Amino acid sequence: MGLKFEIVARDAGTQARAGLLHTPHGVVETPTFMPVGTAGTVKGMTQEQLESLGVQMLLANTYHLYLRPGHEVIRELGGLHRFMGWPHPILTDSGGFQVMSLKGLGRVTEDGVWFRSHLDGSSHFLTPERAVEIQLALGADIIMTLDECVDYPASHETLQRAVKLTTRWAQRAKDFYEERVSGERGPALHSQSQRPPDLQHLTPDTSPAPGPQPPSLFGIVQGGTDKILRRESAEELLEIGFEGYAIGGLSVGEPRQETYEVAEFTAGLLPEERPRYLMGVGTPEDLMECVARGIYLFDCVMPTRNARNGCVFTSEGKLVVKNARYMRDEQPLDPACACSVCRRYSRSYLRHLFVAGEMLAGILATHHNLHFYLDTMRKIRQALEFGQFESVRSRVRGGSGTASPRREVVPESQADEPC
Query: Smallest distance, Å, CB 397 to Zn ion?
Result: 16
Q: What is the DSSP letter of 407?
A: G
Query: Smallest distance, Å, CB 342 to Zn ion?
Result: 3
Count of H-run helices and E-run strands, the chain = 16, 19
Phi-psi region of 265 (alpha: psi -120 to 50; beta: other; left: phi over 0): alpha
Query: Smallest distance, Å, CB 273 to Zn ion?
Result: 36
Phi-psi region of 281 (alpha: psi -120 to 50; beta: other; left: phi over 0): beta
Query: Smallest distance, Å, CB 323 to Zn ion?
Result: 18
Task: Give the span between the Cα atoms of 418 and 405, in whole angstroms.
Answer: 12
Query: Smallest distance, Å, CB 338 to Zn ion?
Result: 7
Task: Give the span between the Cα atoms of 358 and 90, in whole angstroms.
Answer: 30
Using CB atoms within 10 A of its CB, is residue 128 exposed (0-12), middle (13-18) or buried (19+)? buried
* Catalytic residue positions, numbered: 93, 299
Query: Smallest distance, Å, CB 348 to Zn ion?
Result: 15
Give which of 73, 91, 95 is closest to 83, Cα–Cα. 73
Task: Give the span between the Cα atoms of 49 and 141, in whole angstroms.
Answer: 21
Nearer to Zn ion, 125 or 345 (CB): 345
Task: Give the span between the Cα atoms of 278 and 31, in whole angstroms.
Answer: 11
Nearer to Zn ion, 276 or 368 (CB): 368
CA atoms within 13 A on the CB side of 26: 14
The Cα angle at residue 252 between residues 114 and 308, in degrees rounded to 5: 95
Cα-based torsion angle of the residue sequence 291, 297, 300, 304 in order, rounded to the nearest 10 degrees: 100
**Amino acid identity, position 103:** K
**Amino acid identity, position 31:** P
Task: Give the span between the Cα atoms of 396 and 399, in whole angstroms.
Answer: 10
List residues near Zn ion by CB under 5 A: 337, 339, 341-342, 368
Nearer to Zn ion, 249 or 284 (CB): 284
